[in-house]
Amino acid sequence: MTARKEEVGPSGLASALVASGALQSDWLPTFKAVPRDMFVPDRIWPGIADGTRQNPVVDRAKDPDAWLRAVHSDIPLTTQWDDGSHTGDGLGKTPSSSSSQPHMVFSMLTDLDVKDGHRVLEIGTGTGWNAALLAHRLGAENVVSIEFDPAVARGAAENQRTAGISPLVIVGDGRLGYVGGAPYDRVIATCSIGEVPRAWVDQTLAGGLIVAPWGPLYGGEAIARLTVAGGAASGPFTRSSAFMRLRQQRPALHPHDAYLKGHEWPADGARSTTRLSPAEVGGWVEQFAIGLQMAGAFWTVERYDDGAYTLWTYSADTLSWASVDYEPGADSLDVVQSGPRRLWDETEAAYLWWEGQGQPGFERFGLTVDSDGERAWLDSPDHPVPVVG
């Protein structure tokens, strides 16, 4: 018996998305009317842009079949590196624009819960596909999309004109929203943020929704679905995510040398040991839970040929650092900490809190944004996530 060949094309992608639950019946006509291939450039890098699961460039002119397979697969497609300065076929340093994974696109549109007559503000136009989907559903006159990169905005607008759907595309700072089209029933961001801009809340009608990928500096990220009321916004996280950061919120992280300040490790660091393995704190949800508690901290890994590595944790102000030496199979690991914050002690406390709460997933966490700032919570706004350190 011959195995059934997987269908390649928009119908096959639609079937996969429907089967996964991402593509709901009310969005299916729009998916068919606004095909992804009309919004993807000729040169793309398929896969996750983390340097380990990123495929080589696929050039439509050189291999049209591979290009079509990538476009009609449920994967993200990087379309720009290094804010456009990287033009070669290889991987750049930092991905800066993409066509998002279709599963995530339609999951977020489901979270957005648009109704006829709604006005929507989108932050991050990218290739223009997401705004075109919204414009087909709601009418182009009801959709405004903001893109910071002029070249990306021009490409998106051209894609939309070719598709016969032209929402308003504005070149500007997405943090400011677009007051000329306000108020909005819905705001959606297709780039991640670490802080919800005040303008998004102010430009959203009471009862309206803000749907945006949100993540702490430390790591981890999830989709926040916030309801606006009384000048504030609050709601749960709905699912894990991994988006490129809003350019104006990209963190300016200091290099390793800024912490040891010219001294050889361990410098003035205090030595101790730990039984908590760095491997246990490296998962996406673990990073998220730790990052909610450890404001202004981030980490890097220094790997060695024998499978061992050092986990370095830093404070954004360059005053504190910690190192943990991981060795496969070791029960006790060496720790060195320096500065006013004992960053590994904070990491252990944050991890143990998460473990003590039953190792909650993203969906048990939520976020409130008001005049006092932002507060993450677990299960209810009445139960804020504690801050360590």
Q: What is the pLDDT of residues 63-82, one digit of tens each?
A: 999 999 999 999 999 999 99
Ramachandran angles phi, psi of 226, nearest 5°: -105, 135
Amino acid letter for position 217: L
| Residue 100 among the catalytic residues | yes
Strand partners of residue 86: 81
CB 321 within 8 A of CB 313: yes
Mean pLDDT of all residues in 152-166: 97
pLDDT per position as a tens digit, 256-297? 999 998 999 999 999 999 999 999 999 999 999 999 999 999
- The domain ranges of the chain are 11-247, 257-356
State residue 244 phi and psi, 5-degree precision.
Answer: -70, 145
pTM of the model: 0.94
93-131 pLDDT, tens digit per residue, is 999 999 999 999 999 999 999 999 999 999 999 999 999
Beta-carbon count within 10 A of 269 CB: 17
Query: In the predicted model, what is the mean pLDDT of residues 159-172?
Result: 97
Question: Is residue 278 within 8 Å of 218, Cβ to Cβ?
Answer: no
Q: How confident is the model at residue 50 (pLDDT cuts 50, 70, 90)?
A: low
CATH topology of domain 257-356: Double Stranded RNA Binding Domain (3.30.160)
Q: Domain 11-247 adopts which CATH fold?
A: Rossmann fold (3.40.50)
* Residue 4 confidence (pLDDT) above 80: no
Q: Which of 96, 97, 99, 100 is catalytic?
A: 100
Tokens 């997405």 locate to 174
pLDDT given at position 172:
98
pLDDT averaged over the chain? 95
Angle at 125 between CA 122 and CA 130, to 5 degrees: 70
Band of pLDDT at residue 55, cut at 50, 70 and 90: confident
According to DSSP H, which parts of the chain are helical?
A: 10-20, 28-33, 64-71, 102-112, 129-138, 150-163, 198-202, 257-260, 284-293, 343-356
In contact, 261 and 204? CB cutoff 8 Å: no
